[in-house]
Amino acid sequence: MEKIEKYELEDAYDEIAEKRKCGMRSVLTHIENLRSEMKRKCERSPIEAVTSRIKLFPSALEKCERKGFEPSIESFEEMHDIAGVRIIVPFLDDICRVKEAITRRKNLEVVEERDYIKNRKPSGYRSYHLIVKTKITYEFDDDWPLVEIQIRTKAQDFWSSMEHKLRYKNRNPAPAVVAEMASFSDELYEKDKWMVHMRDYNKIESIVGDENEESIAGMSDSLLKLQALKRS
């Protein structure tokens, strides 16, 4: 195979990244429409914040090196996270709600799902990943560029931000630091689950105060037990 000069490889990458950027803009439009729709129907949108980014050429090269394969046009085309969109939600169960809403969108095809919420990475990283294709219509043809969507809670986003800062100066932090960060991630995960219970328990308190028995009947058994315990 003929060796490609670095500048040629960068030009090829920029072309791929530009197509992914078009896909990212399309995904962002889908998410903003979804956000407005959820707020209109439910008075509360679970989507609190949305950010996006395009992976720069040096970062793509670094990923190739880290994964142990030669940088090439083919490897760049297979890279699913060149375009990334991040969705931040307040509660743990909002992740599933947003994920299911995204998978129902027309002109979005889910290629792969990766659940790092229940199955965190060894580092402690938690997030739900959707790899999607979105239809882009050009002048003479169509394209379906890949976009990675990450959905995580505010607590998980805080953890990720702190972990990134720790690794900024040292790509290989001390084992004790890695272990502490993994343990911290588990603690935050338990707090995330507890906050869901507190939110739903608060709903029961509000309903009981209004003596709305019909609405109480729709609550989960576990939360009704909490209410019964408080009354006893």
Q: Which whole-number Å values give the CA distances from 91 to 46, 129, 219, in the listed order?
A: 8, 16, 18
Helical spans, DSSP H, in the chain: 6-42, 57-67, 73-78, 92-103, 154-169, 175-210, 213-216, 221-231
Would you tell me how many other CB atoms lie within 10 Å of the CB of residue 164?
Answer: 9
Structure tokens at 142: 């169509």
Residue appearing with tokens 């992976």? 55
The answer to whether the beta carbons of residues 147 and 20 sit under 8 Å apart is yes
Q: Which helix (H) or strand (E) holds 114?
A: strand 108-115
Among 48, 148, 205, 211, the one annotated catalytic: 148
Residue 151 CA to residue 31 CA, distance in Å, equals 12
Residue 227 CA to residue 163 CA, distance in Å, equals 38
Nearest Cα neighbor of 65 from 57, 144, 200, 92 is 57
Is 148 marked active-site?
A: yes
Positions marked catalytic: 148
